[in-house]
Structure 1
């Protein structure tokens, strides 16, 4: 009888704590779930405002990029004293991106002051904030972001009473959250009460390789296939009568089938988002550092950039590493530097001892995460132990706005686990 009761208890427990995220396919989840707010009771409108500040005092911003000279961030403040959370955006995303804004709505509704911070790989951050303008070195990127937060802090405190400072980030922003927290553990400007990492990359080189391959394989290494598929999807959209994305989570397969979109097409879409970021980083890092890989002459303010992007020609992260970043680091630091050395600079292991002991940091990821290798996932398990929660499904950031995920995030950020 005792054994039977124990078995029933286990089965009931499994049922009670089952995870019912509706998008089971990791690629469907990544494409459609990552921007869909599947949480009740979140304010649809909050007083988000755009702000700008200036960091560029020691170097000239190229004419063609003068429109990005001022650093931009977003902010929504409570009318009373409240904790504040900085939200670090994912790869290439701006502070006003839909994903970052959704997180701002979630935390603002929960009573936080919120500040949205653009990815260091976003054009505005790379031009107006980044010291070396060569993103991918985690410690350098973290210092850039930290400098921005320090600069913004007194501006915030003139407008609102801050109970405590907190930090969270998703995707690359999740990775950067760990590094920024490490820097603050030494500088003590914020003394972050809680840090929450959502679907972070562990090694940027590993994740970039996965994403490069995802896009290249999806088009059989022929960019013409990409344009042909895009034209086909646009045509299908114009004729389809079943494309209500508000109801997508109820029957995603049906809508995708009506559009003749298969898993390979989803991979192409995911890879494309990151490829567009890679194209920007290739061009901007090359031009702002005068590396002369894609642009060997000064570009005037009103020049047509088409010829330069034609030379970039869908360059990926591997191109960035080999053609731009590695030559830069060889010239600035050490002539015998290798891609493997760059990989070490882009790995969370550089702050391994800190992460193992930082009790204020919590992490969530998914068992079917697309940007992690098995080794990366094992590293998260060994490093964060009971501070890591792994959801069975969700792909890359596909479930971060799901009710259960949001509830856990808010509970954890309040210190209740």
Structure 2
């Protein structure tokens, strides 16, 4: 019969098999390019965000001088949190644009916007030089960073998910948070070298600016990587059959509210794990436990790189065992490990503190690598970017933006150094409850 393959038609069967193989190979190539382009952009984002947190104790007296070092540190951390407040606004506006014109062009703009704001922080005059205008300008630049960051990591996660074949989204999706970990590690390395080579006077005078200037070559490299990738196959397939949404925000809240709330809970716990585990632990080990700053930066850098190396494994494992099981392992780890490990850090030995910090952050590569592809799988293609921007950025505010400030403030008032651990354990328990409502998405097609 015409059109039917049989044992007597080996040539036609071979042609079909070759076509399938070529299609699979092409899908893998597209996914690899998307994964690398996304990883470089998220590395830039988290390098830029992390260096502000790592340099907070040095920057604090320059922009918020006074007789109370704790108050200056709190003010600096408040500015750190301000960038998170505007992230949902940037995410919604950039997400709406990406759901209409495509992901690629928006992701090119986010990396340029973040890099420009970061480099400008490096040239800011201090309060001693221009008075109150200095902290005002710092706030404005942090707001600019937050605006573009609101569309960065969420867009990168959506971009990879829409470029990956079924059954491999976890593995390729792990490269987005791998970029997060590498960016944080690179920030710690740069800050470690800077503080190790320069005296306290040199750091205060000009040395603190170096990490901000070094974002420029990173941005150029990331822009080059993203310029060379194509629009996602999933988005192109959607445009071939449907029109972009006219009001994606209204559609997200009207048709995707349960998924939106679920991702907010997950993202809150995920961000709490990252910012408590990496950014706040720098303050905890240096300010409260009085370990040497440059040594702590190197500890954080090594741990971040170790965590990054684990992410593809956990992302790939979630393709086999499912997102729900993998996320449950990660959040149980946070709930159980963080408080005991923080107690162990207060032993007086940096080696023991480093080991304890390593153990406390073991859940991070699980939650980070499995989280982002899971979030992308919760929403349809027509509003995926917008929905992820809203939910992940609101989670970032709750778990990352206000967390360092809140826990530092509580520690200042109570003297209880274990507050961050309790905060993290509580966030993890909330995420575990949300997992009970999560449908398994590791095997099927993306929603369209």
Structure with more helix by fraction? 2
TM over 0.5: no
TM-score of the two chains, using structure 1 as the length reference:
0.26
TM-score of the two chains, using structure 2 as the length reference:
0.25
Structure with more strand by fraction? 1
